[in-house]
Structure 1
Amino acid sequence: MSFKIAIIGAGSVGFTKKLFTDILCVPEFKDIEFALTDLSEHNLQMIKAILDRIVEANGLPTRVTATTDRRKALEGARYIISCVRVGGLEAYADDIRIPLKYGIDQCVGDTICAGGILYGQRNIPVILDFCKDIREVADTNAKFLNYANPMAMNTWAAIEYGKVDTVGLCHGVQHGAEQIGEVLGAKSPRELDYVCSGINHQTWFIDLRLNGRKIGKDELVAAFEAHPVYSQQEKLRIDVLKRFGVYSTESNGHLSEYLPWYRKRPDEIMRWIDMSDWIHGETGGYLRYSTETRNWFETEYPQFLEAASKPIDVAKRSNEHASHILEALETNRVYRGHFNVKNNGVIANLPQDAIIESPGFVDRFGINMAAGITLPEACAATCMSSINVQRMSVHAAISGDIDLLKLAVLHDPLVGAVSTPEEVWQMVDEMVVAQAAWLPQYAHAVPAAKERLSKSVVKTREWAGAARRNVRSIDELRAEKAALKQTG
């Protein structure tokens, strides 16, 4: 087979390499073209050198091109994969820093909450530019695979306003299933069968079967509480499991942002999180991790390039959805996964226009969702809170209506539990002014926002959060890596 895949944001080096090697694990895909595009010429050349090394080491006819000209990369592409982070770590730092001044302590802040909503405002105009290019220069039947957060908002904008065939992809379901399989003692992933449904990062394992035997709440709670690691790292998720009766896909730290009951009081936060790794609830944990990863990659690049000389190991193909979807569409080998699409009746008790994440099957006819799912009422209620915020956020991003943006932030569950309306109004003004370079739709609103900020009487504070860690240096990372290697 011969077709073209364009990867936007290919400078996300580690993730691009994973997608690339996954796709080349499909025997029929050896003779395809990968067109890489990114704003950073430096990052593009680094990832191209790695992928070229993989192609050479494996004796493949695969073609790899790299350009900062996005339209050129998209010309004739059958599949377009987006891994972009609009505003980079500079804007992301403001997503964490500014809300902290108003008492809002986020672990990730890239899907919902104050940081996630502003991240969506930066992403959506760019997503619509992608869609315009896809409609104009890509293959007539091109499919857009979005990996970028905020997943639901980006996918919503691409489908509703970009008018492009889009699916949102995430790995939260797979990671949650791996945990469940481990605590239940499954010897192989095939022993665990499940239905997981909801919205991205608030998806729920509503049916679990181990070797055909249905697993109930009490058995799952006991299994998690008996696990020596997860019992400490996933305290919040276990508490939600006890109260809701079903396990959530999302990590302990990320889940704490969506449910206002666990993260609104600074003196309570430490009770529910774990500091063994950023993902379990650390303040600004993903920002720290992302910063360290970027610094580590820049310093250790020669080692990454050397590792690319090894043969592709098909047995190590990851469970990221992209390669499996492409394989199913092109070869008709059926793939079952969990996909982010417009609801349209898939989940009976969520709105039709919402972007849901739910099971589906892929073959040469496309992505076919399993319809008629009803979520437990508590799960649906939690999802609805986020859906309403997502809808307002998308509409604000499209219209440039700063008042609607403020209402969206006000209705976020954690923001509303922590901040007053006056604080929210000022916080949004401050974030829009700080991120004006990436928010063209709000250019008209920035002067008035600056004027309001100059006269504001709302008090703020400089606060690092309840559980902040400093960014580690390269030497510290090396020392920690060496210590882990010694201890096995």
Structure 2
Amino acid sequence: MSFKIAIIGAGSVGFTKKLFTDLLCVPEFRDIEVALTDISQHNLDMIRAILDKIVEANGFPVKVTAHTDRRRALEGAKYIISCVRVGGLEAYADDIRIPLKYGIDQCVGDTICAGGILYGQRNIPVILDFCKDIREVAAPGAKFLNYANPMAMNTWAAIEYGKVDTVGLCHGVQHGAEQIAEILGAKSPAELDYICSGINHQTWFIDLRLNGRKIGKDELVAAFEAHPVFSQQEKLRIDVLKRFGVYSTESNGHLSEYLPWYRKRPEEIARWIDMSDWIHGETGGYLRHSTETRNWFETEFPQFLASADKPIDPAKRSNEHASHILEALETGRVYRGHFNVKNNGVISNLPADAIIESPGFVDRFGINMVSGITLPEACAATCMASINVQRMSVHAAVTGDIDLLKLAVLHDPLVGAVATPEEVWQMVDEMVVAQARWLPQYHDAGPAAKERLAKSTVKTRDWAGAARRNVRSIEELRAEKSALKKAV
């Protein structure tokens, strides 16, 4: 088979390498073209060198090209994959730093909450530019696979306003299933069958079968509490499981941001999180992790390049959805996964316009969602709170309506549990002013926001958060890695 795939944001080097090697695990895909595009020539050069070495080592006729001109990369592409972070770590730092001044402590801040909403405001205009290019220069009927967060908002905008065939992809469901398989003593995750449904990062395992045997709440709670590691790392998720009756896909730290009960009091946060790794609830944990990862990669690039000189092993293909979806569409080999699409009645007790994440099957006819799913009422209620925020956020991002943006932030569950309306109004003004270079739709609102900030009497504080760790140096990371190797 010969067709073209474009990867936007290909400078996300590690993730792009994973997607690329997954694609080449499909025998029929070894004659494709993969066009990389990114705004950073430096990052493009690094990933291009790695992928060229993979191709050379395996002797495949795959064509790899790299472009800072996005439209050139998209020309004739049948599939487009996006993994962009608009504003990079500089803007992301503001997503964490500014809300902390108003008492809002986020672990990740890239889905909803104050940081996730502003991240969506930066991403959506760019996503719509992608869609315009796809409509104009990509292959007719091209499919857009979005990996970028905030997943639901980006996918919502691409479908409703971008008018491009779009599916959102995430790996949270797979990771949650791997946890459950482990605590239940399965020899392989393949022994676990499940129906997982909801919205991205708030998806729920509403039916679990281990080798055909149904797993109930009590057995699941007991298995998690007996696990020596997860019982400590997933305290909040276990508490939600006990109260809701079903397990959430999302990590302990991420889930804590979406609910108004666990992060609103600084003195309570330590009770629910675990500091063994960023993902379990650390303040600004993903920002720290991302910063360290970038610094590490820049320093250790020669080693990453050297390790690319290996044969591809199809047995090590990852469970990221992209390659499996393309394989099913192109070959007809059926693939079952969990996909982010417009609801349109798939989940009976969520709105038709919402972007849901739910099971579907892929074949030559496309992505076919399993309909007729009804979420437990508590799960639906939790999802609805986020959906309403997402809808307002998308519409604000498209129209540049700063008042609607403030209302979206005000209705966020965690923000609303912590901040007053006056604080929210000032916080949004401050974030819009700080991130003005990435928010063209708010250009006209900027001067008035600056004027309000100059006159504001709302007090803020200099606060690092309830559970903050410092970014580790390369030397510290190297020493920790060496110590781990010796321990093993």
Same fold, TM exceeding 0.5?
yes
The alpha-carbon deviation at position 315 of structure 1 amounts to: 0.8
Identity %: 90
Distance 2:136 2:80 in 1: 13
1: CA distance between counterparts of 2:157 and 2:263? 29
Distance 2:116 2:190 in 1: 34
Q: How does 1:411-450 map to 2 (within 5 A)?
A: 411-450=411-450
Do the aligned partners of 2:79 and 2:143 also contact (CA within 8 Å) in 1? Answer: yes
Question: For 2:188 and 2:463, how far apart are their aligned partners in 1?
Answer: 46
Q: Which residue of 1 aligns with 2:24?
A: 24
Gaps of 5+ in 2: none
In 2, Cα distance between equivalents of 1:211 and 1:294: 41
Matched, 1:193 2:185: no
**Deviation string, structure 1 residues 142-183 (Cα, Å, up to 9, x no partner):** 000000000000000000000000000000000000000000
**What displacement does 1:141 show?**
1.4
Instruction: For 2:188 and 2:45, locate their aligned partners in 1 and report how far apart those are by CA, in whole Å.
Output: 39
Name the structure 2 match of 1:214. Answer: 214
CA offset at residue 59 of structure 1?
A: 0.5
Deviation readout 1:112-142 (Å, 9 max, x if unpaired): 0000000000000000000000000000010
User: Structure 1: which 5+ runs fail to align?
Assistant: none
Distance 1:377 1:28 in 2: 44
- Aligned pairs (5 A) from 1:59-458: 59-458=59-458
Q: What is the CA–CA distance in structure 2 between the aligned matches of 1:62 and 1:399, rounded to whole Å?
A: 42
**2: CA distance, partners of 1:144 / 1:24:** 19
Please name the residue that 1:40 is paired with: 40
**Offset at residue 313 of structure 1 (A):** 1.2
Distance 2:337 2:186 in 1: 19
Q: Which amino acid aligns with 2:176?
A: G
**Whole-Å Cα distance in 2 between the matches of residues 23 and 399 of structure 1?**
37
- CA distance in structure 1 between the aligned counterparts of 2:380 and 2:418, rounded to whole angstroms: 23
State the distance in 2 between where 1:480 and 1:259 align: 34
Give every structure 1 segment of 4 or more consecutive aligned residues whose post-TM-superposition deviation is greater than 4 Å: none
1:81 deviates by: 0.1
Aligned-residue Cα RMSD (Å) equals 0.3
Aligned equivalents of 2:164 and 2:27: distance in 1? Answer: 28
Q: Secondary structure at the match of 2:338?
A: strand
Can you list the C-alpha shifts for 1:225-263, whole angstroms capped at 9, x where unaligned?
A: 000000000000000000000000000000000011000
Deviation at 1:19, TM superposition (A): 0.1
Letter of the 1:222 partner, please give it: A
Q: CA offset at residue 459 of structure 1? A: 0.1
Deviation at 1:189, TM superposition (A): 1.8
What CA distance in whole angstroms lies between the structure 2 residues aligned with 1:6 and 1:370?
29
Instruction: Identify the residue that residue 478 of structure 1 maps to in structure 2.
Output: 478
Q: What is the DSSP-based 3-state SS (H/G/I as helix, E as strand, rest coil) of the residue aligned with 1:444?
A: coil
Structure 2 Cα separation of the partners of residues 54 and 11 of structure 1: 17
TM-score by length of 1: 1.00
Task: Tell me the amino acid that sits aligned with residue 295 of structure 1.
Answer: N
Contact 2:275–2:281 at 8 Å: present in 1 too?
A: yes
What is the CA–CA distance in structure 1 between the aligned matches of 2:416 and 2:49, rounded to whole Å? 47
The separation in 2 between residues aligned to 1:260 and 1:292, in whole angstroms, is 29
Q: Residue 130 of structure 2 aligns to which amino acid in structure 1? A: F
Q: Aligned partners of 1:38 and 1:324: how far apart in 2?
A: 24
Distance 2:141 2:315 in 1: 31
Rounded to whole Å, the distance in 2 between the matches of 1:322 and 1:198 is 20
Number of the residue aligned with 1:51 = 51
Alpha-carbon distance in 1 for matches of 2:481, 2:38: 30
Return the offset for 1:80.
0.1
Q: Letter of the aligned partner of 1:54 in structure 2?
A: I
SS at match of 1:236: helix
Aligned residue type for 1:8:
I
CA displacement at 1:17 relative to structure 2: 0.1
Q: How far apart in 2 are the matches of 1:231 and 1:107?
A: 19
Q: Secondary structure at the match of 2:358?
A: strand
How far is the alpha carbon of 1:275 from its aligned partner? 0.1
Distance (Å, rounded) in 2 between the aligned partners of 1:10 and 1:483: 32
What is the alpha-carbon distance in structure 2 between the residues aligned to residue 133 and residue 141 of structure 1? 13
CA contact (8 A) 2:182 2:189 kept: no
| Distance (Å, rounded) in 2 between the aligned partners of 1:50 and 1:210 | 40
CA distance in 2, matches of 1:314, 1:308: 15
What is the distance in 1 between the residues matched to 2:485 and 2:233?
Answer: 22
Counterpart residue type for residue 187 of structure 1: K
In the TM superposition, what is the alpha-carbon distance from 1:188 to its structure 2 partner?
A: 1.5
For 1:277 and 1:96, how far apart are their aligned partners in 2? 18
One-letter identity of the residue aligned with 2:391: R
